[in-house]
């Protein structure tokens, strides 16, 4: 994988409004070269530990390192393994061991350079070390740029379940260089589009229409549509998080597609299917379930399926028994008092959260095969 030459665009900024914990999201092609300036302008100084993995470090480590050194920061790198296997308490503890060994102080900075995995584990380590040090997210995957780097959910997996250990810990700033998407494997880009489509379905029918109109240019990573979609997703997520930071109500809508999606992901052992691929199927199937329950029109299901397909995602549930799917759905974090709560569309851009009855889901499952 080779970096593309530096390209600049104008900088877009989305504020995340959380009172004293508010922060900006900066989006710009070529922004990695200006990380040192961004940190300095926000009043940060001192040592910076960059948590990343070998793939991202090889691609972008030296750009970030030079940019920080130009502004008198003293960066050092900590590498975690690539992929989901890094998200363990063991690796969070290894990051902390290094902060202790380097005598990191409360004003020093931890910077996550990578996708959702690096962001989640680095943010969790930042939240724990001396009860919290400044944390910066530099998001380099589409999933991270439209979802995981915003909103302060950090954490690691337990062997019995994904993201079972964690903390809400907001970053001081989120930086997104849209050029980093050019080195992202196509499969990861397409998986990220599932989360993008999700925002249209849950919050903004005009944005959904925009995706229908521009999906081809988006897949080609054309600068304007890519910047616009990242900005719009960040605005929506920022709005939802500002209203319900700790997921006691509204924030649950961000889990659209995830009830069935998480079940499929866990049944695949988190290997055959990556998260966004499972969410793509989950969204189409949850829309179809909503239609069978009389909650939305068939047009909603058709538009949902067509945009998922055009993005290059699958929409059909692999062959399985209902009992297997139902059991996996019950292990979801969103189960309340034993009831599965599911986000379902009522129209494009509007959803609600409903408890699911086994009987009606079984009937839908049998009919939809």
Residues lying near ligand GLY in the complex (CB under 6 A) are found at 147, 151, 153, 247, 251, 254
Chosen from ligand GLY, ligand NAD, none, partner binding at 120 (C-beta under 5 to 8 Å by type): ligand NAD
Taking CB atoms, the residue at the shortest distance from ligand NAD is 116
CB of 254 to ligand GLY, least distance (A): 4
Q: Does 140 bind ligand NAD (CB under 6 A)?
A: yes
- Of the candidates 344, 339, 369, which has an alpha carbon nearest to the alpha carbon of residue 357? 339
Chosen from ligand NAD, ligand GLY, none, partner binding at 55 (C-beta under 5 to 8 Å by type): ligand NAD
CB of 343 to ligand GLY, least distance (A): 11
HEC-encoded secondary structure of the chain? CCCCCCCCCCCEEEEECCHHHCEEEEECCCHHHHHHHHHHHCCCCCEEEEEECHHHHHHHHHHHHHHHHHCCCEEEEEECCCCHHHCCHHHHHHHHHHHHHCCCCCCCEEEEEECHHHHHHHHHHHHHHHHCCCEEEEECCHHHHHHHCCCCEEEEEECCEEEEEEEECCCCEEEECHHHHHHCCHHHHHHHHHHHHHHHHHHCHHHHHHHHHHHHHHHCCCHHHHHHHHHHHHHHHHHHHHHCCCCCCHHHHHHCCHHHHHHHHHHCCCCCCCHHHHHHHHHHHHHHHHHHCCCCCHHHHHHHHHHHHHCCCCCCCCCCCHHHHHHHHHCCCCEECCEEEEEEEEECCEEEEEECCHHHHHHHHHHHC
Taking CB atoms, the residue at the shortest distance from ligand GLY is 254
CB of 167 to ligand GLY, least distance (A): 13
Active-site residue flag, 153: yes
Name the active-site residue from 87, 195, 235, 305. Answer: 195
Residues in contact with ligand NAD, shown as a per-residue x/- string from 6 to 45 under the rule CB under 6 A: ----------------------------------------
Q: Does 82 bind ligand NAD (CB under 6 A)?
A: yes
Chosen from ligand GLY, ligand NAD, none, partner binding at 114 (C-beta under 5 to 8 Å by type): ligand NAD
Segment near ligand NAD (CB under 6 A), from 36-44, 108-116, 245-253, 333-341?
A: 108-116
**Nearer to ligand NAD among residue 67 and residue 141 (C-beta):** 141
Q: Contact with ligand NAD (CB under 6 A): which of 36, 134, 151, 225?
A: 151
Name the active-site residue from 275, 286, 303, 305. Answer: 275
Q: Contact with ligand NAD (CB under 6 A): which of 67, 88, 148, 255?
A: 148
CB of 197 to ligand GLY, least distance (A): 14
Chosen from ligand GLY, ligand NAD, none, partner binding at 140 (C-beta under 5 to 8 Å by type): ligand NAD
Distances (CA, A) of 226 to 26, 196, 206, 223, 273: 14, 11, 16, 5, 24
Q: Say how far apart CA 188 and CA 142 lie, in whole Å.
A: 8
Catalytically annotated residues: 131, 153, 195, 237, 247, 251, 255, 258, 262, 275
Site residues for ligand NAD per CB under 6 A: 1, 53, 55-56, 59, 82-84, 87, 114-118, 120, 140-141, 143-144, 147-148, 151, 153, 163, 180, 183-184, 188, 275
């Amino acid at each position: 994988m080779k970096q593309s030459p530096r390209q600049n665009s104008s900088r877009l900024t989305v504020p995340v409004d959380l009172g004293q914990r508010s922060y900006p999201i900066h989006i710009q092609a070529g922004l990695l070269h200006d990380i040192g300036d961004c940190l300095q302008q926000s009043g940060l100084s001192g040592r910076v530990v960059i948590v990343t993995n070998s793939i991202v470090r090889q691609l972008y480590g030296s750009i970030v390192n030079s940019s920080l050194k130009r502004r008198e920061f003293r960066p050092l790198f900590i590498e975690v393994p690539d992929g989901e296997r890094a998200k363990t308490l063991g690796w969070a503890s290894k990051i902390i061991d290094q902060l202790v060994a380097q005598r990191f102080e409360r004003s020093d900075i931890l910077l996550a350079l990578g996708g959702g995995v690096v962001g989640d584990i680095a943010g969790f380590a930042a939240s724990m070390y001396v009860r919290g040090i400044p944390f910066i997210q530099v998001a380099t995957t589409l999933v991270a740029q439209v979802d995981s780097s915003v909103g302060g959910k950090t954490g690691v997996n337990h062997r019995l379940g994904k993201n079972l250990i964690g903390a809400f810990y907001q970053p001081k700033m989120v930086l997104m260089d849209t050029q980093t998407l050019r080195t992202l494997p196509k499969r990861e880009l397409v998986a990220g589009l599932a989360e993008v489509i999700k925002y249209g379905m849950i919050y903004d029918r005009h944005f959904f229409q925009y995706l229908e109109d521009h999906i081809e240019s988006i897949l080609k990573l054309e600068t304007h549509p890519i910047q616009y979609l990242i900005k719009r997703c960040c605005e929506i997520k920022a709005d939802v998080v500002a209203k319900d930071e700790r997921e006691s109500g509204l924030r649950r809508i961000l889990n659209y597609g995830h009830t069935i999606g998480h079940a499929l992901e866990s049944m695949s052992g988190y290997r055959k299917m990556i998260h966004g691929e499972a969410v793509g199927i989950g969204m189409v199937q949850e829309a179809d379930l909503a239609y069978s329950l009389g909650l939305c029109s068939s047009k909603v299901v058709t538009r949902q399926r067509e945009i998922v397909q055009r993005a290059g995602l699958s929409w059909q549930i692999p062959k399985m028994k209902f009992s297997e799917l139902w059991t996996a759905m019950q292990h979801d974090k969103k189960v309340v008092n034993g009831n599965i709560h599911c986000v379902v569309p009522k129209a494009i851009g509007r959803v609600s959260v409903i408890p699911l009855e086994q009987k009606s889901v079984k009937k839908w499952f049998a009919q939809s095969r």
